[in-house]
Structure 1
Amino acid sequence: MNPLVGDVAGNAEHVIAEAVRAREAGADMAVFPELVLTGYPPEDLLLRSELHARIEAALARIQAEVRDITLVIGYPRCSVGGLFNVAGVIRDGEVVAEYAKQHLPNYSVFDEKRYFQQGATPTVFEHQGLRIGLSVCEDIWQEGPAQQAAAAGAQVLVNINASPFHRGKRGEREALVSRLARDHGMAILYANLVGGQDELVFDGASFVVDAGGAIIQRAPAFVEASLLQAFDASAHALAPPSPSEAASASDEATLYDALVLGVRDYVRKNGFSGAVLGLSGGIDSALTLAIAADALGPDAVEAVLMPSRYTADMSNEDALEEARLLGVKAQTVPIEPAFQSFLEMLEPAFAGQAVDVTEENIQARCRGIILMAISNKSGRILLTTGNKSEMAVGYATLYGDMAGGFAPIKDVPKTLVYRLAAYRNRRSPVIPERVMTRAPSAELRPDQVDQDSLPPYEVLDAILRLYIEEDEGVEAIAAKGYPPEVVRRVARLVDRNEYKRRQAPPGVRISERAFGRDRRYPLTSGF
């Protein structure tokens, strides 16, 4: 299920509708994800007493309106001892069992110890002759809760989750849960949240594992979906009524779908009518445009070309072709009048000083003003087009190309940008071949290419992965064969540009270490 964080009444209504649908499909129990009534993560909303009043009202409504089916749902519960993250069992108007999450993650994007107290005991309840145990998300990654449930007699373990997506996560989950099922001889139902929430994307991809560890059903990823699974009296899983989805999508396909869902939900859940972005004829804006059009529909997306005196004709041609292929409205607003006006205004202040990056940044800021004006006037959110490589080393202009409300490819390194663009073209050609093959350039001065200022992206991205995602030091990275002076320079650029990233818009997280809530470094540091 794809809830909206904070919309307790709306989420409860969604739960009721899905419970009715499950009952009509022949189910006698329906399992929903972790904290489904609040959405995940609710963050400091959990500190507001009115949220918990709304939770109690939602539970009362569910108990009053749902009959003839047992529900397992996630919600926060205020009780003696504090606030707990619970899986509750609702049957015939009553909460008949509650399990409090025992392992509270406090790493990466998680901050649950700020809000919740730890549970300590297993919960096993009877349902249609089966003994069913409960666990919540992080509990499945630890040995204790599954072992406790099995020792308490559970034949089936229901694990409800709000497990964020990152590259390779689905395979990690399935391998772990399969091993636990084999080790403890019980079937496991893994029910996961789906949807975009700020930087996070939840991929769904729920599944069922039998007591031997075999995966017998998989739900599709990145969409709301339900699985119907039957068990006999000895907890033997009966054959599913429809074939399971194979977990065989390519890396690029999975990542692209995650980006599309992240953009769609951020824009729609925040009430924007659509999106606008600057289209330069380069690879980054081309990929961003494709993601936006796929997420929102071409009618909800507007592209703006903003050529300068340094923009090549082929950049304009390619940008217009991208818009045409995707069916997106495009308009051209040249920045030359504004740029020239700024140069004239600043001429006294710049007297006697050489042209440098300042004049490049003025062009980027002219574009930022134009795009924000169109965004304000149209009610469409401005999507920024910078990638992770650029954000890492500060190859971006504050209040210029960094201006905007959401950054779809903020966690996509440049080399992966090309791979995702090639993948999208395999679905249908929307990015001209010339965009894929020409040397990338900001086009802010004559004959400029990115590699004038940066190492080759193959080298840069490899160093950045080690430094940012693996937390390796300069010497350790250089020992892997990268030029020490290049590694030192890249590390310095990353460290000194934290202030820019702190002011950047949020963007979709697809790696295990994205800029934002994953990576919190001081702005001022002598490290």
Structure 2
Amino acid sequence: MNNSFATLGYLRLGVATPALRVADVAFNTGEILRVLDGLREEDVQLAVFPELCLTGYSCADLFYQDLLLKAAAEALPRIAAHAERLGIAVVVGLPVRQAGALFNCAAFLAQGRTLGLVPKTYLPNTNEFYEERWFASSREAFGDEVRLGAATLPFGTDLLFRWAKRPDCIVGIEICEDLWAVCPPSSTQALAGATVLVNPSASPEILGKQDYRRALVQSQSARCLAAYAYASAGPGESSTDLVYAGHSLIAENGQLLAESERFCFDSRWAVTDVDLLRLQQERLRNNAFSAQAPRNSWRMIDFECADAPLTALRRDVAARPFVPSGEQERSARCREIFALQTTALAKRLRHTGSKQVVIGISGGLDSTLALLVAVGTFDKLGLDRQGILALTLPGFGTTTRTRGNAEKLAELLGVSLKTISIDAAVLQHFEDIGHDGETHDITYENAQARERTQILMDVANAAGGLVVGTGDLSELALGWCTYNADHMSMYGVNAGVPKTLVRHLVEWCAQTEFTGAAAEVLHDICATPVSPELLPPDAEGAIRQKTEEHIGPYLLHDFFLFQAVRMQFAPARILFLAEQVFADQFSRAELLGWLKNFYRRFFSQQFKRSCLPDGPKIGSLALSPRGDWRMPSDACAALWVAELELLEKSSD
């Protein structure tokens, strides 16, 4: 399959701060051309330069000089021709005359010519700014065209520029102060379809402004569900009382993707890949966005730029999208999740008046987290931990290590502990249904899981308490749970937590919430292979049945889950992203194999998710049939399977 920028839904975007001399159009033009050469070496498709970068923003009364204005206008064709040879679309700033007034404009250049000019709307005229002395606002424009040299060009704030090869790439332009206004023009541009918002700017630096500017760009990109490219003038613009730093940055849907170095007199730029497909998916999911239909009429101008094979992304792709990479952020996230889980369970106990809960503990990650949540909940409510009935239910596959950890942890936490072997009950069941008890088939495994759930439910009834479920989000996605067994509970505290995050939560508890022997047990639980322990141990008594050897690494499945369900990406895009992240760990064939397994299980196991017990929503991805995910239990996977098969053929 052809993995180009356009087919994969990316645009390589660059923001540049060129070296500049105030009022030296020839120098400034030459430097822009040199920067474009550098950007082309990085396969940039759209380049954004600062406000009034052809003349300099600091020209003051020199803007009245006819010679300066003509020089700026005459530079555009030269830049446009150079950009065409490089296959780059360009946004540059210059002053433009129309009907006796002067406008601070951004020119959009592509295909060797100027496609349109967008004037600035909000002109700062306080403190150090005096723009109204020289420029008129876009509101004072006379007509929707302007004569520039020999060309008559589209002119106005109603212009949008669309990449013909990728129609979801629509560029909207506002200039500097426009972003700082109460209602920025970019907001209505986004509602009209603009996914890439660009801002040529000349923003002088003062103490603290860097952080404010960054927050402003990030928040506008989030509010508009768009990419936002802010190209700011650099130190060459500094004059008299003002200092310019060249703080250029790109954000996407609230996330900062790229940022330039400040206070450099030499030209600097920052480059990243904007995810157009992600932005479209976010907008489709957000009905508040689509409900705000734009009232303006817009002129859409198509442009072309180079498209090239995309082999390496210029943006970070998280291998563990549910787990923050930084230790401080991860710790804060774990604390927040634990608070969500304990508060949710506390509410259910307060509502039902229950002072007892029943949990089946196995010495594995999920049941350990559920037990820790129960302990935190009882402490929050001021209840005696003895009201937590922790049951170990050893069976044919239980190992000494896991049982020992479960019993030791329950004792250290001060909860009630009871051990009930399921062996005799399951063997009697095998006799009743005519199973030989020796064939290790699905019946052999599921009978144990269902016996355990029956015991838990009955003990809860006898105690007047609730069964707390232990299954996590990843297991629900894959259907890796026995229907009407560990699939069922009276409240599933882990239902919103994926497996890759469960481990970090337990580790966090070991590091911050517990000490001594309890922390040691938690660390050992985290080091234990994930297993349902339904098949007998090996000759050394160790776990034989390792979940990830059967269904695939949870590292991959959580990645696939995020990309397929949260981002709504197709298999080809998911495989491409997986190769970006896991190429040093898994071959393409391995990634494709586990991706096929993910789709097969995800589609076939929806019936288990359609009747889930209640459980708290934790992150932006949830699979509750009452909330985020409504999927027919009998949906056909043929469309996704066909693309996977095509990917397989292309790998041969």
For 1:502, give the aligned amino acid: S
Structure 1: which amino acid aligns with 2:531? S
Q: Is the 8 A contact 1:310 1:445 kept in 2?
A: yes
Instruction: State the partner residue of 1:384.
Output: 469
DSSP-derived class of the 1:399 partner: coil
Instruction: Check conservation: 1:467, 1:491, Cα contact below 8 A.
Output: no
1:313 corresponds to which residue?
Answer: 400
Runs of 4+ in 1 over 3 A off after TM superposition: 350-355
Q: Which residue of 2 aligns with 1:508?
A: 616
475-484 vs 383-392, which deviates more?
475-484
Distance 1:143 1:276, change over 3 A: farther
- Is residue 271 from structure 1 mapped to residue 361 from structure 2 by the alignment? no
Partner of 1:371: 456
* 1:56-95 alignment runs, 5 A limit: none
The change in CA–CA distance for 1:249 and 1:320 in structure 2 (over 3 A counts) is: closer
Q: 2:629: which partner in 1?
A: 519
SS in 2 for 1:479: helix
Aligned partner of 1:330: which letter? L
Counterparts of 1:323 and 1:314 in 2: how far apart (Å)?
A: 14
Give percent identity, aligned residues only.
Answer: 26
**Separation in 2 of the partners of 1:466 and 1:504?**
23
Secondary structure in 1 matching 2:534: coil
* Partner residue of 1:463 out of 531, 548, 560: 560
Cα RMSD after superposing both structures? 3.0
Instruction: Give 1:374 deviation, angstroms.
Output: 0.5
Contact kept, 8 Å, 1:474 with 1:484, in 2: the verdict is no
Tell me what 1:428 maps to: 514
Could you say if the C-alpha distance between residues 371 and 479 of structure 1 is closer, same or farther in structure 2, counting changes exceeding 3 Å?
same
Residues in 2 aligned to 1:425 and 1:351: alpha-carbon distance in whole angstroms:
43
Summarize the alignment of residues 85-234 of structure 1 with structure 2, pairs less than 5 Å apart: none
Secondary structure in 2 aligned to 1:250?
Answer: helix
TM-score of the two chains, using structure 1 as the length reference:
0.52
What's the counterpart of residue 261 of structure 1?
Answer: 343
Distance across 1 between alignment mates of 2:514 and 2:618? 23
Q: In 1, Cα distance between the equivalents of 2:563 and 2:409?
A: 34
Correspondence 1:492 to 2:577: no
Specify whether residues 473 and 331 from structure 1 end up closer, same or farther in structure 2 by C-alpha distance, changes over 3 A only.
same
User: In the alignment, what sits opposite 1:336?
Assistant: 423
State whether residues 331 and 508 of structure 2, in contact with CA within 8 Å, keep that contact through their aligned partners in structure 1.
no
Question: SS in structure 1 opposite 2:477?
Answer: helix
**Matches of 1:300 and 1:176, distance apart in 2:** 46
Q: Please report how far the alpha carbon of residue 367 of structure 1 lies from its aligned counterpart in structure 2 after TM superposition.
A: 0.3
* Partner in structure 1 of residue 372 of structure 2: 290
* Preserved contact between residue 393 and residue 490 of structure 1 (Cα < 8 Å): yes
- Whichever residue aligns with residue 383 of structure 1, its letter is V
Alignment partner of 1:325 out of 412, 430, 433: 412
Judge conservation of contact 2:609–2:623 (CA < 8 Å) in 1: yes
- Shifted more, 504-513 versus 377-386: the winner is 504-513
Letter in 1 for 2:557: L
Mapped to 2, the partners of 1:417 and 1:490 lie a distance apart of 19
CA distance in 1, matches of 2:509, 2:557: 24
Residue-by-residue CA offset, 1:382-408 (whole Å, 9 max, x unaligned): 011111111110110112112211111
8 Å contact kept, 1:293–1:300: no
**Secondary structure of the structure 1 residue equivalent to 2:556:** helix
Give, as a single letter, the amino acid of the residue that structure 1 aligns with 2:559.
A
Give yes or no for contact 2:422–2:452 (8 Å, CA) kept in 1.
Answer: yes
Q: What is the deviation of 1:248?
A: 11
Q: Which of 395, 399, 413 is 2:498 aligned to?
A: 413
Match of 2:444 among 342, 359, 371: 359
CA distance in 2 between partners of 1:305 and 1:352 (Å): 22
The structure-2 alpha-carbon separation of the partners of 1:474 and 1:325, relative to structure 1 and needing over 3 Å to count, comes to: same
Amino acid aligned to 2:547 = D
Give the alignment's TM-score, normalised by structure 2.
0.42
Q: Aligned equivalents of 1:309 and 1:526: distance in 2?
A: 37
How far residue 249 of structure 1 moved from its aligned partner, in angstroms, is 6.8
What CA distance in whole angstroms lies between the structure 1 residues aligned with 2:219 and 2:344?
26
Q: Could you tell me how far apart the structure 2 residues matched to 1:331 and 1:476 are?
A: 49
431-440 vs 415-424, which deviates more? 431-440
- Amino acid paired to 2:332: S
Number of residue-to-residue matches in the alignment: 293
- Amino acid corresponding to residue 462 of structure 2 in structure 1: K
Give, in angstroms, the shift of residue 354 of structure 1.
Answer: 4.8
The Cα of 1:353 is off from its aligned counterpart by 10
On the 8 A contact 1:272/1:379 being kept in 2, the answer is yes
Q: What are the superposed Cα offsets for residues 171-195 of structure 1, whole Å, 9 maximum, x if unpaired?
A: x99x859x99xxxxxxxxxxxxxxx
Tell whether the 8 Å contact from 1:277 to 1:371 is kept in structure 2 after alignment. yes
**Post-superposition shift, 1:334?**
0.6
Residue 487 of structure 1, CA deviation: 1.0
In the aligned structure 2, how far is the partner of 1:474 from the partner of 1:277? 38
1:94-146 CA-to-partner distances (Å, cap 9, x unmatched) read xxxxxxxxxxxxxxxxxxxxxxxxxxxxxxxxxxxxxxxxxxxxxxxx989xx
| Larger-Rg structure | 2
What SS does structure 2 have at the residue aligned with 1:401? coil
Kindly indicate whether the alpha-carbon contact (under 8 Å) linking 2:389 and 2:415 is maintained by their aligned counterparts in 1.
yes
